[in-house]
Amino acid sequence: MRFVYLLTTLLVSTTPLLAQTIANYQKALSVLQKAISASGKTIPTSILLTSKGTIHNLGHYDIPEKTNDIPVDESVAYFQDEQVAYLRSVIQNNGGSFIRSAVSKSDSLYTTGYYNRALVRTNSQEFGYEAAKILPIKLLQFAYANRQSLRYLGQQDNHFLLSFSYKSNDAVTMYISTKTLLLDKIEKLGYNDQYGDVAFVSVYEGYEDKNGLNVPRTRTDYEFGKPEREMTYTAIRFDAKPDSSDLQLRWVPAAFRNKLPEVNRKIESLVFETIAPNLDLVKITSQNNKVLVAQFGDHIALFESPSGLGLNQQILSEIQKRYPQKPLRQVFLTHHHPDHAGGIRAFATLPVTFITTSGNEAYFKKILATNHTLSETRVGVEKNVQFDFVPVEGHKSYRDKLTEVVAYEIGKSTSHTVEHLVYYFPEQKLVWSGDLLFFRPDGRALPTGDRGKAVYNLITSNNLAVDKIYTAWPLNGQAAYGTVEDLRKSVKIK
């Protein structure tokens, strides 16, 4: 009895620990997202912010810990779409004016110092943090960009404490007000030869609404427990551009300067080609893959969904542009491999039906319900997913007044996957297959093995009239399509 009790307590106490990291990350992410929303209804993609203040410079003066006050004027600019950040800081010291400038484009940085005017090119990692911490919303977005390291540390004196890191062996703690959900303070651990373990702290105060964005009135940076810098924000603009007219970038090499206004978007290269009435082949040139789009009377059907949320969302938006009156309603899959079905999560929030075989149901349901908060592409929560199963070794027709496609299940004879669908369009005399065939560009036949034989037997035993056989993967190094004659030659090779 005692043993049973012990075993039960062990189970109870260990089970919740299994996914603690994910649960903690999700809690932190939810607080961070609320803080981002609280910072502004819409976050402008271009922000130019100026501030004025004093640096309490801890120099080599006549008595210990004496500081000298240096006036400072700062301009910082953020251009989200272009991945550009800019900082210009002017100080008045010993009767002179000194300028420090820095401009980064994604991970590259050009900078000149107050006293050393030499132009230095370096990595923008540390500058990314320095620029972000000037404006709370940018710091929150910076934390989001580094969210894989995001953790919830608990609640302390009306603040949620979150931490994240943007480089190894370095963590930033954010203090987010439980009342306003605004960022009140950030803290970073550091080390100094004289002061030992120290915290670098920035405190934001007096939030004000500036065109829908919550901007603090002041920021105080603390070093070694004392204010190092006290800044007051003086103006904010949302219409600046990352070029020399707004940023005075004549000192940056021309080649780098010219790149600054370029918008960085990771997009796939898609080429649509109509191959038969109501059938478009979509060549994914960036991934050496293809999918097929079929137009039905009142909707569109997609054949294959290779891995990549962004890729599939892009395919969907291209389909919607081409056929604005016809929503995507069906996703036909040949088999479960990632280069054919790995992207179905992108459609889980839509009223689409997935056409597959019942052996894939559990696996597909699992990947359709996965969380993708770490992905660069956002996707909503899955809806009630609809499946339509083609019986094993059977077939099923999908037709309306415009188009018909017949799905044939031939997995067992392919030696590729236990279940595998091949699609036949009778009107177009066209076959769409997944991974089963390869047609050389020079027309020379290659031995096909079981895969090709399975398709050949399907066509001959059902007397299917076929002019063209298209395959999904790959795009390059293979003929646009094959014929039944090509396939017959291949099958004959021993």
Could you give the string, one character per residue 173-212, with x where binding to Zn ion holds by CB under 5 A and - elsewhere? ----------------------------------------
Stretch that binds Zn ion, among 58-66, 86-94, 330-338, 484-492 (CB under 5 A): 330-338
The nearest distance, CB 392 to Zn ion, in angstroms, is 17
The nearest distance, CB 478 to Zn ion, in angstroms, is 15
The residue behind tokens 């059977």 is 394
Instruction: Evaluate whether 100 touches 113 at the Cβ level (below 8 Å).
Output: yes
CA distance linking residue 230 with residue 227, whole number of Å: 7
267-291: string of b/e by CB count within 10 Å (b at 16+)? ebebeeeeebebbbbbbbeebebbb
Q: Which is nearer to Zn ion, 175 or 423 (CB)?
A: 423
DSSP character at residue 40:
B
Could you give the string, one character per residue 435-464, with x where binding to Zn ion holds by CB under 5 A and - elsewhere? x-----------------------------
Task: Give the strand pairing for 386-389 and 353-356.
Answer: parallel
CA–CA–CA angle 126, 127, 129 (5° rounding): 70
Q: Which is nearer to Zn ion, 185 or 337 (CB)?
A: 337
Tokens encoding 184: 């009140």
Reduced to 3 states (helix: H, G, I; strand: E, B; else coil), residue 267 is: coil
Could you give the string, one character per residue 113-152, with x where binding to Zn ion holds by CB under 5 A and - elsewhere? ----------------------------------------
CA distance linking residue 94 with residue 52, whole number of Å: 18
Stretch that binds Zn ion, among 191-199, 334-342, 425-433, 464-472 (CB under 5 A): 334-342
The nearest distance, CB 432 to Zn ion, in angstroms, is 14
Q: Which is nearer to Zn ion, 242 or 342 (CB)?
A: 342
Q: Which is nearer to Zn ion, 216 or 411 (CB)?
A: 411
- Measured from the Cβ of residue 113, the count of other Cβ atoms closer than 10 Å reads 14
Q: Which is nearer to Zn ion, 163 or 417 (CB)?
A: 417
Helix (H) or strand (E) holding 309: helix 309-322
Stretch that binds Zn ion, among 137-145, 286-294, 331-339, 454-462 (CB under 5 A): 331-339
Tokens encoding 400: 């309306």
Q: Which is nearer to Zn ion, 421 or 466 (CB)?
A: 421
Could you give the string, one character per residue 396-435, with x where binding to Zn ion holds by CB under 5 A and - elsewhere? ---------------------------------------x
The nearest distance, CB 436 to Zn ion, in angstroms, is 9
Size of the residue set binding Zn ion (CB under 5 A):
2
Helix (H) or strand (E) holding 25: helix 20-39
CA distance linking residue 240 with residue 254, whole number of Å: 20
For residue 53, the cross-strand partners are 72, 231
The nearest distance, CB 335 to Zn ion, in angstroms, is 6
- Measured from the Cβ of residue 40, the count of other Cβ atoms closer than 10 Å reads 16
Q: Which is nearer to Zn ion, 337 or 345 (CB)?
A: 337
- 221 binding Zn ion? (CB under 5 A): no
The nearest distance, CB 133 to Zn ion, in angstroms, is 48
The nearest distance, CB 338 to Zn ion, in angstroms, is 9
Question: DSSP string spanning 123-189?
Answer: E-HHHHHHHHTTSHHHHHHHHHHTGGG-EEEEEETTEEEEEEEEETTEEEEEEEETTT--EEEEEEE
Helix (H) or strand (E) holding 454: helix 449-461
The nearest distance, CB 435 to Zn ion, in angstroms, is 4
Among 138, 290, 337, 345, binds Zn ion (CB under 5 A): 337
Residues binding Zn ion (CB under 5 A):
337, 435
